[in-house]
Amino acid sequence: MIILQKTISREYLAELAEHFYGDMIKGVVDIDRGKIALDAELHSDLERLLLEDGSEQEYLWGINLYPEVYDEDFIEFDSLINIRPRQNNRSRYVEDAVIRDAIQKLVKSFIQ
């Protein structure tokens, strides 16, 4: 598991994806602190890593990245950690367009 400290290439992302799922890698994004954790079998493991790093749970959102996909399907906004009725997110999908936009901008800033 890693917390990105600098930009990475799609090629490196693809190498990380090989650790668990091959064509996909799980990630958790902290939209408040501008951090991304990658490379675990479960989103909850990445969530824990960011919480231990000082993140607050309400700002953490689970995503899946597909390194070989170059359109809007590169980011999948699907994770069990996204189910948050108290934040009006009642499904695994990130329902708020503003949050999805923040995630997309953060991912683009770290993955070239």
Instruction: Report the share of the chain in percent with pLDDT over 90.
Output: 98
**What is the Cβ-side half-sphere exposure of residue 18, based on CA atoms within 13 angstroms?**
6
**Per-residue model confidence as pLDDT tens digits over 1-18:** 999 999 999 999 999 999
Distance, CA of 13 to CA of 67 (rounded, Å): 6
Q: What is the pLDDT of residues 66-93, one digit of tens each?
A: 999 999 999 999 999 999 999 999 999 9
C-alpha distances (whole Å) from 17 to each of 10, 37, 66, 85, 96 are 10, 13, 8, 30, 27
